[in-house]
A and B are shown apart, each in its own frame.
Chain A
Amino acid sequence: MKRLILFVAFLGLSFFAYGAYIPAKAVLAQYLINDAWSNSIRSGEAHKPWKWADMHPVMKLSSNKHKQELIVLSGDKGNSLAFAPGYNLSSYMPNKGGTTVISAHRDTHFEFLQNVSISDVFELTDRNNKAASYRVSDIKIIDATKQDITIHSDQDELKLITCYPFDALVARGPLRYVVIAKMI
Chain B
Amino acid sequence: MTPSKPKPFTITLISIFLLLATNLAIASSNSQDQHSNPVNEADSGSMIFKFDDNTSLMQIALDTKVQMDITGNINRVIVEQIFTNPSDMWAEGVYVFPLPEDSAVDQLRMYIDERVIEGQIKEKEEAKKIYDKAKSEGKSASLVEQQRPNIFTTKIANIAPGGTIKVAIEYQQGVRIENNRYSIRFPMVVGDRYIPGTPTYTPEDSMGVSNNTIQVGDASEITPISENHVRELIDENFEAYLPVMIDINLSPGFDLASLNSTYHKINTESINQTTKYITLAEASQLDRDFELTWSANMSHEPEVALFAQENDNSIYLMLMAIPPKNEVFKKSERPRELIFIIDSSGSMSGSSIKQAKDSLNTALKRLNPSDRFNIIDFDSGFEPLFESALLATNSHLNEAKRFIKKIDADGGTEMLAPIKFALKSRDSNSKNYLRQIVFITDGQSGNEGAIFNTVEFDIENDRFFTIGIGSAPNSYLLTKLADFGRGAFTYIGSQKEVSQKMNRLFEKLESPALTDIKVHFPPEINAELAKDVIYDLYAGETITAAFKMNALPNSLQITGKTVDGDFNQNITIDTLESTKGIDIFWARRKIDRLTDIHDNAYTTRVEKLSRKDITDLALDYHLVSRFTSLVAVDISPVRPESEKLINQAIIKKAKADGMEDEIRIDSDGNLQNRDDLLQEFIAKLSTQKSSAAKSYSANKSAYKAPLAYESALMSELLAELEIAEFEAELRAELALNSSSPVKLAQASQTATYSELLMYIGLSLLLFAFALRRRLAL
**B-contacting residues of A (Cβ < 8 Å)?**
1-2, 4-6, 8-9, 11-20, 22-23, 44-46, 48, 51-55, 74-82, 86, 88-91, 97, 101, 103-108, 110, 142, 144, 148-154, 161-163, 168-173, 176, 178
- A-B contact sample (18 more), CB < 8 A, given A8-B771, A13-B765, A19-B761: A1-B771, A11-B764, A12-B768, A15-B758, A19-B754, A45-B603, A45-B604, A45-B605, A52-B446, A81-B749, A81-B750, A82-B752, A90-B745, A104-B750, A106-B750, A151-B742, A163-B749, A171-B753
A and B contact pairs by CB, cutoff 8 A, 20 listed: A8-B768, A15-B764, A16-B762, A18-B761, A22-B752, A22-B753, A45-B605, A46-B602, A52-B412, A79-B346, A79-B412, A89-B471, A105-B752, A144-B747, A148-B746, A149-B745, A149-B746, A154-B214, A162-B750, A171-B751
B741 touches A152 (CB 8 A): yes
Cα separation A9 to B65 with both chains bound (whole Å):
89
Q: Is the CB of A86 within 8 A of B748?
A: yes
B749–A46 CB distance below 8 A: no
Residues of B within 8 A of A55 (CB): 444
Question: CB < 8 Å: which of B346, B411, B775 contacts A2?
Answer: B775
| B413-441 CB contacts (< 8 Å) to partner A | 413-414
Q: Is B347 an interface residue (CB 8 A)?
A: yes
- Give the 3 A-B CB pairs with smallest separation, nearest first: A16-B761, A12-B764, A19-B757
Look across to chain B and name the residue whose beta carbon is closest to the beta carbon of A162.
B750
CA distance in complex: A34, B349 (Å): 26
Q: Size class of B's contact patch?
A: 35 or more
Shortest distance between the CB of A159 and any CB in chain B (Å): 9
Could you list which residues of chain B lie within 8 angstroms of chain A, going by C-beta atoms?
A: 1, 3, 197-198, 214-215, 345-350, 409-414, 443-446, 470-472, 602-605, 739-769, 771-772, 775
**Which residues of chain A have C-beta atoms less than 8 A from B412's C-beta?**
52-54, 79
Contact status B754-A88, CB under 8 Å: no
A107 touches B754 (CB 8 A): yes
> Which B residue's beta carbon lies closest to that of A79?
B346
Q: Give the Cβ gap from B767 to chain A, nearest Cβ, in Å.
A: 6
Bound CA span A14–B761, Å? 7
Q: With A45-B604, A77-B347 as known contacts, state yes or no: A169 contacts B768, CB within 8 Å.
A: no
Q: How far is the CA of A95 from the CA of B605 in the complex (A)?
A: 23
> A114 → chain B, closest Cβ, in Å?
13
* Interchain CB contact under 8 A, B754 and A23: yes
Contact of B604 among A44, A75, A89, A151 (CB under 8 A): A44
Which residues of the other chain, B, contact A86 by a CB distance below 8 angstroms?
748
Question: Are B764 and A8 in contact (CB-based, < 8 A)?
Answer: yes
Closest CB of chain A to B683's CB: distance in Å? Answer: 21
A77 to B197: give the CA distance in the assembly, Å: 30
A169 CB contact (under 8 Å) in B1, B445, B750, B755 = B755
Query: By the criterion CB–CB under 8 Å, are A168 and B751 in contact?
Result: yes
A151–B410 alpha-carbon span in the complex (Å)? 26
| CB pair A150 B768 closer than 8 Å | no
Closest to B757 in A: A19
Report the Cα distance A91→B771, complex, angstroms.
54
Which residues of A are found within 8 Å of B350, using beta-carbon distances? Answer: 77
Residue among B198, B472, B750, B752 with most chain A CB within 10 A:
B750
Please indicate the chain B residues that have their CB under 8 angstroms from the CB of A142 in the complex.
Answer: 747
Contacts of B775 in A (CB 8 A): 1-2, 5
Report the bound CA distance from A173 to B751 in whole Å. Answer: 8
Q: Is the CB of A12 within 8 A of B746?
A: no
Closest to B608 in A: A45
* Interchain CA distance A153-B412 in the complex, whole Å: 31
A16 B757 Cβ-Cβ under 8 A: yes
Asked whether, in the complex, the Cβ of B745 is within 8 Å of the Cβ of A148, the reply is yes
Chain A residues near B750: list those with CB within 8 A.
81, 103-106, 110, 161-163, 176
**Minimal beta-carbon separation of A1 from chain B (angstroms):** 6
Query: Is there contact, CB below 8 Å, between B349 and A88?
Result: no
Q: In the docked arrangement, what's the CA distance between A108 and B753, Å?
A: 11
Are B768 and A78 in touch, CB under 8 angstroms? Answer: no
A19 touching B753 by the CB < 8 A rule? yes
User: Do the beta carbons of B746 and A22 come within 8 Å of each other?
Assistant: no
A13 to chain B, nearest CB (A): 6
Which residues from chain B contact A168 at a C-beta distance below 8 Å? Answer: 751
Contact assessment for A77 and B349 in the assembled complex, using a CB-CB cutoff below 8 Å = yes
The reply to whether B413 and A79 form a contact with Cβ atoms under 8 Å apart is yes
Q: Quick check: A171 and B742 within 8 Å, CB to CB?
A: no
B772 lies within 8 A of A88 (CB): no
